[in-house]
């Protein structure tokens, strides 16, 4: 396993997975620890010169069944990644034969289970609704921020800014998302969602992820949007979220926000010494 802080660089096994097109490189470091630097994350994440991913996830030994650490394609870290958590949970359940798992992340303890029919559920924990938890730069009502469009702020272990619009398809997300990600109210930047109501229990959503850009899906964004819609009285607490890559089912319960959807283990491979040495 490579340690990018030393000269001991060897081949690095990895897996490629996705949840509704939200794609991940996953490194199993339970047996052999791996040091991930921003340069290594950016190199693997490059879609021309590396493998490409929306997030890089590292599986490590933990107090539960495993500990997960997440990196964005720009080399920054994220405390939570819902779709990656579901993908890894499915793989670990198949490996162990267990139908339930206890995972730990920088977000906290997460619990996963087999939902049947090839679907996997993860409890993403309770949403963070207070300004300093998200965090925002100043004390504000998080239900409607003083930003054009009156978005809702939500924390799911990472910050979110959700705009409810007439038609999410018509928003120029590349320009809109990039601008909102860096809004001064969000000192740690933010994930940005645009959503519209399809039915009382269904939303259409598109997402811009901080440090990544437009993605086909996002688990934590889906949870944040469902929470925001329920808080604003647009929906109940159980909704279907239709994303560019498919649908997720979100259920905000007393014990946390449960997210259910499909996952795919696409391939297993090895990053070569030549590639890794080129990143030093």
Q: Rounded CA gap, 19 and 85, in Å? A: 10
Angle between helices 219-231 and 82-96 (to 10 degrees): 120
Q: Are 161 and 191 in contact (CB under 8 A)?
A: yes
Was 189 annotated as part of a binding site? no
The reply, when asked if residue 209 is annotated as ligand binding, is yes
Q: Does 55 appear as a known binding residue?
A: yes
The answer to whether 7 is annotated as binding is: no
What residues have CB less than 8 Å from 172, skipping those under 6 apart? none
Q: Is 123 annotated as a binding residue?
A: no
Tell the residue number behind the tokens 């934590």, with chain if given: 220
3-class secondary-structure state, position 12 = strand
Q: Judge whether 96 is annotated as a binding position.
A: no
Out of 81, 87, 161, 223, which one is annotated catalytic? 81
Please indicate whether residue 81 is annotated as part of the active site: yes
Nearest alpha-carbon partner for 155 in 69, 209, 108, 220:
220
Does 220 appear as a known binding residue? yes
Would the annotation count 245 as a binding residue?
no
Residue 158 annotated as part of some ligand binding site = yes
The answer to whether 223 and 124 are in contact (CB under 8 A) is yes
Catalytic residue IDs: 81
**Binding site, annotated residues:** 22, 55, 72, 82-83, 158, 191, 209-210, 219-220
**Binding site, annotated residues for substrate:** 22, 55, 72, 82-83, 158, 191, 209-210, 219-220
């Amino acid at each position: 396993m490579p340690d990018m802080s030393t000269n001991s660089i060897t081949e690095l096994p990895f897996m490629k997975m996705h949840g509704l097109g939200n794609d991940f490189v996953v490194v199993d470091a339970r047996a052999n620890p791996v040091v991930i630097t921003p340069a290594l994350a950016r190199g693997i994440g490059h879609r021309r010169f590396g493998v490409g991913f929306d997030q890089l996830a590292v599986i490590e030994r933990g107090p539960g069944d495993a500990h997960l650490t997440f990196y964005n394609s720009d080399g920054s870290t994220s405390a939570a990644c819902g779709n990656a958590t579901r993908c890894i949970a499915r793989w670990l359940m198949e490996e162990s034969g267990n139908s339930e798992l206890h995972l730990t992340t920088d977000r906290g303890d997460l619990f996963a289970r087999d939902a049947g029919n090839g679907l996997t559920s993860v409890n993403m924990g309770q949403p963070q609704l207070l300004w300093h938890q998200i965090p925002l730069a100043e004390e504000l009502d998080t239900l409607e921020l003083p930003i054009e469009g009156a978005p809702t702020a939500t924390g799911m272990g990472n910050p979110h800014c959700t705009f409810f619009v007439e038609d999410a398809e018509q928003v120029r997300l590349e320009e809109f998302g990039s601008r909102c990600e860096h809004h001064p109210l969000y000192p740690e930047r933010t994930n940005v969602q645009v959503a519209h109501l399809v039915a009382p229990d269904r939303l259409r959503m598109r997402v811009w992820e901080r440090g990544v850009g437009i993605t086909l899906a996002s688990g934590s964004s889906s949870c944040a949007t469902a929470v925001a819609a329920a808080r604003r009285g647009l929906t109940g607490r159980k909704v279907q979220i239709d994303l560019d890559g498919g649908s997720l089912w979100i259920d905000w319960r007393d014990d946390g926000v449960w997210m259910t959807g499909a996952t795919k283990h696409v391939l297993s491979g090895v990053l070569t010494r030549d590639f890794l040495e080129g990143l030093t």
